[in-house]
Structure 1
Amino acid sequence: MPNDALLSLQLDHLKELQARYESAMAEQGFDGLLIASGAAPYRHGDDQAWHFQGYGPFLHWTGLAGREHCWLWLRPGHKPVLWLFQPADFWHANQPLPEEPWQTVIEVRSRQSPEAPVLDDPGRLAVIGDPTMLEGVPGDINPQHLLEALDETRVRKTAYEIECLARANTLALAGHRAARDAFVAGESEFGISLAYQQATGQREADAPYHSIICLNDHAGTLHYQYYDTRPPGHSRSLLIDAGVRFRGYCSDITRTTAGPGESRFAALVLGLERLQLRLCGMVAPGVDYIDIHRKAHQGIAALLSATGLVTGLEDQDMVEQGITRVFFPHGIGHFLGVQVHDVAGKPTPPPDDAPFLRLTRRLEPGMVVTIEPGLYFIPSLLDPLLEGALGRHLNSDLIGKLRGCGGIRIEDNVLVTESGSRNLTRDS
């Protein structure tokens, strides 16, 4: 899609947001809403701040990630007003704001103070944002029912949001290809991270989340957070879970690659990818997302049986006795938007058999979800199972040979359409 078309979609997006937010304000009895972008807190005992990304509702309207001390004022029937913090400062540069059509529907003002602006005749005002930044600001601070209603406005994506998510996928996939090439060339986790950043044109600090880059057994830690600067003696596997932020919107993609000579592990990767594609095919209006999670466990059981990792049990018995949860301990996915784990996913708590599931809703057109089954060799989960009564059903020799590969996760970002789904990752 050409940029002109994208920018035109943004105008439609803002018109839709105006209607959604006005409805939420009216239902809760507010005359106006002031949104604080927030700012990075300082580290304790230090004069350096953490890196800042932005507050969800502010990004929902502006897409301006990383903008601190900015304020957005919304009123029914009025043009929104955006105050950008642009101090006269010789220590830091002010980020330029490109001229784009959205500035014709939002009034942009510059100010040098980080404090909340003084509003003319605000009426009954709601103020939302980081409560540590809102002390002394007039208005109702973070009213819970309004926050819940505003979260709901982010569940069904506009055409503009979908296009931004698709472009974030395209950019991230270039990084994943570069990461795989770096792995094949024998790079370290740190070297693979650099290759990913170079290919995406995005600093690690600006990514929507810290990239998970795991060689070998490091993939057995679901959110492994370190990068070895030296490559292992033998690179058996790569798991990379990494995304890109585009105009505020996030991609969240995971791929796993088997190293040379790892035929058993490569077969597992292939089997899990086939399962993942079947699960992506389940995404459609009216489908309960919990059912996709449970279908994933049935697929993991079939894969464990087919590869000889577990023997002497029916697939359903593996699920019911908790064996599949040892190999696949997390949920099948979550909502995706201006936050990686986007809001409003759990109006009801997850079921007992899926305690870490981040989405418990029935799917509707416009929702964007991730589908990310995994199969891991996690010592803290596997060892008690091997030592218990069910251990006789596990192929300990094969598990021992595969432990050093850590695990597998394959993740795509999928849009629910009116008649089915669109895989934003595979279609990019």
Structure 2
Amino acid sequence: MPNTRILSLQAEHVGILQGRYERVLEGHGYDGLLISSGAAPTRYGDDQSWHFQGFGPFLHWTGLTGFEHAWLLIRPGRKPLLSVYQPVDFWHASVELAQEPWLAEFELCFSESRSAPGLAGVSRLAVTGDPSLLANVPGEHNSPGLCEALSETRVHKTAYEIACLAQANQLALAGHSAAREAFLAGASEFEINLAYQRATQQREADAPYNSIIGVNGHAGTLHYQYYDTTTPAKPRSLLIDAGVRYRGYCSDITRTTAGAEEGRFGALVQGLEQLQLRLCDMVAPGVDYVDIHRKTHLGIAALLSAAGLVSGLSDEELVSEGITRAFFPHGIGHFLGVQVHDVAGKPELSPADAPFLRLMRTLEPGMVVTIEPGLYFIPSLLEPLLSGPLGNHMNRPLIDELRECGGIRIEDNVVVTDTGHRNLTREAEA
């Protein structure tokens, strides 16, 4: 049950969104916006549907993740109209709408029809949602300029959103603690996943993304998607990237644990965590997020040299020669909100030295970002280096020794404040 502070903040949040959306509608010449919550599509050639979690703009307003075929009508100077689909259905349970104070900020109606509500009094209507559900709805659908402006309304989080993200972090960390304990007790990837779900009390289908749980070499696949049901003879490492969805808002946390006898790998984990904390401390208004990414590569270079994985090159040479990209191939992070990779992060293309970076903006108060450096032993990336002209700088025996540990990633969720930052993940760990 949400606490009274979060419920109060949601009412304020709705008022803030009303003002933001009214300005967007005025700027684009509309006097109404209809938002579809969406619905789970049916699998091709089957009568089963994919799991449903809701369309971003609808969740931004309501946090109602399980409400298919609902509609939200935004009109300047009037309360938002929330139309909830409630069919008479003996096959499936209908989702109950909790009677919470924030609903007083809406006009509320219930319908047995999946159709959009009445649109009387709206002369120029914009509509946004899954095009497959909008076929018979009047208005201008998914205008690119309008959709871009709506995405911008999600960049600066309200106090309600930050409170939800903080709660999502707290819930997820209970799962991470249980996962670590299960790994150290000899559990398989499948059993570790069950321990995580048991601790978070959230089905994986309802989580913001499928948990990444990699033991040993599997930790070197960035988005490893399977769960082994057997434990390896010698568990050497665990990488778990897993979150929780709370009132629509996502946490996205990664932790890496070294096995009991993995002193070298454990030292690398500790070194990367110290780097990660320094990078989190860089988060502040006016900081170019790309600069944090580039600082990460210099930090990875220093760690590679200190660990004896690479020798004979300066930190700057390790970066310029592409060696750090072989060990750290992804970006330092992304926006976070009602989507794990939240919208509006890339108003321009990523630079050549950071092709997978998902966030290309200068940080401003209210933004929420992830900071997630990694260091991996990925054969397809390392072999060209080992066999090339730079191979004499690489410590192949040590790389081979650590290869079956897979890799390391450590990820926190960080809010940009007026004067610096709040690390929601470390706050919840304290």
Length-normalised TM-score, structure 2: 0.99
C-alpha deviations, 1:274-331, integer Å up to 9, x for none? 0000000000000000000000000000000000000111110000010000000000
In the alignment, which residue of structure 1 is the partner of 2:385?
385
Residue 260 in structure 1 maps to residue 283 in structure 2: no
Write the distance in 1 (CA, Å) between the matches of 2:366 and 2:103: 26
In the alignment, which residue of structure 2 is the partner of 1:417?
417
In the alignment, which residue of structure 2 is the partner of 1:30?
30
2:178 alignment partner, SS class? helix
Within-5 A mapping of 1:68-79: 68-79=68-79
Write the distance in 2 (CA, Å) between the matches of 1:410 and 1:111: 46
In the alignment, which residue of structure 2 is the partner of 1:338?
338
Write the distance in 2 (CA, Å) between the matches of 1:211 and 1:114: 33
In the alignment, which residue of structure 2 is the partner of 1:275?
275
- Measured after TM superposition, the shift of residue 117 of structure 1 is 2.4
1:389 alignment partner, SS class? coil
C-alpha deviations, 1:138-191, integer Å up to 9, x for none? 000001111111100000000000000000000000000000000011111010
Which stretch of structure 1 is more off in the superposition, 366-375 or 5-14? 5-14
In the alignment, which residue of structure 2 is the partner of 1:369?
369
Within-5 A mapping of 1:38-77: 38-77=38-77
In the alignment, which residue of structure 2 is the partner of 1:240?
240
2:425 alignment partner, SS class? coil
C-alpha deviations, 1:56-87, integer Å up to 9, x for none? 00000000112111100010011111111110
In the alignment, which residue of structure 1 is the partner of 2:164?
164
Write the distance in 2 (CA, Å) between the matches of 1:106 and 1:63: 14
CA shift in 2, pair 1:98/1:416, >3 Å: same
In the alignment, which residue of structure 2 is the partner of 1:101?
101
Within-5 A mapping of 1:16-415: 16-415=16-415
Give structure 1 stretches of 5+ with no counterpart: none
Write the distance in 1 (CA, Å) between the matches of 2:89 and 2:340: 33
Write the distance in 2 (CA, Å) between the matches of 1:2 and 1:88: 29
* Alignment-mate amino acid for residue 406 of structure 2: G
Write the distance in 2 (CA, Å) between the matches of 1:380 and 1:110: 55
Equivalent pairs: percent with the same residue? 70
Write the distance in 2 (CA, Å) between the matches of 1:164 and 1:118: 32
2:96 alignment partner, SS class? coil
* Alignment-mate amino acid for residue 276 of structure 1: Q
* Alignment-mate amino acid for residue 415 of structure 2: L
Which stretch of structure 1 is more off in the superposition, 316-325 or 109-118? 109-118
- Measured after TM superposition, the shift of residue 207 of structure 1 is 0.4
Which stretch of structure 1 is more off in the superposition, 280-289 or 226-235? 226-235
* Alignment-mate amino acid for residue 326 of structure 1: A
* Alignment-mate amino acid for residue 340 of structure 1: V
Write the distance in 1 (CA, Å) between the matches of 2:89 and 2:268: 55
Write the distance in 2 (CA, Å) between the matches of 1:103 and 1:395: 61
- Measured after TM superposition, the shift of residue 118 of structure 1 is 3.0
Write the distance in 2 (CA, Å) between the matches of 1:254 and 1:72: 35
- Measured after TM superposition, the shift of residue 368 of structure 1 is 0.3
2:427 alignment partner, SS class? coil
* Alignment-mate amino acid for residue 355 of structure 2: P
- Measured after TM superposition, the shift of residue 2 of structure 1 is 7.7
- Measured after TM superposition, the shift of residue 113 of structure 1 is 1.3
Kept in 1: contact 2:334–2:342 (CA 8 A)? yes
2:208 alignment partner, SS class? coil
1:274 alignment partner, SS class? helix
Write the distance in 2 (CA, Å) between the matches of 1:66 and 1:7: 19
Write the distance in 1 (CA, Å) between the matches of 2:415 and 2:117: 38
Write the distance in 1 (CA, Å) between the matches of 2:368 and 2:305: 32
Kept in 1: contact 2:66–2:95 (CA 8 A)? no
Write the distance in 2 (CA, Å) between the matches of 1:231 and 1:69: 43
- Measured after TM superposition, the shift of residue 195 of structure 1 is 0.4
Write the distance in 2 (CA, Å) between the matches of 1:237 and 1:67: 39
* Alignment-mate amino acid for residue 72 of structure 1: L
1:17 alignment partner, SS class? helix
Write the distance in 2 (CA, Å) between the matches of 1:316 and 1:308: 16
* Alignment-mate amino acid for residue 167 of structure 1: Q
Length-normalised TM-score, structure 1: 0.99
Write the distance in 2 (CA, Å) between the matches of 1:382 and 1:27: 51
**Number of matched residues?**
428
- Measured after TM superposition, the shift of residue 96 of structure 1 is 1.1
C-alpha deviations, 1:187-226, integer Å up to 9, x for none? 1101000000000010000000010000000011000000
C-alpha deviations, 1:365-399, integer Å up to 9, x for none? 00000000000000111111111111111100000
* Alignment-mate amino acid for residue 117 of structure 1: P
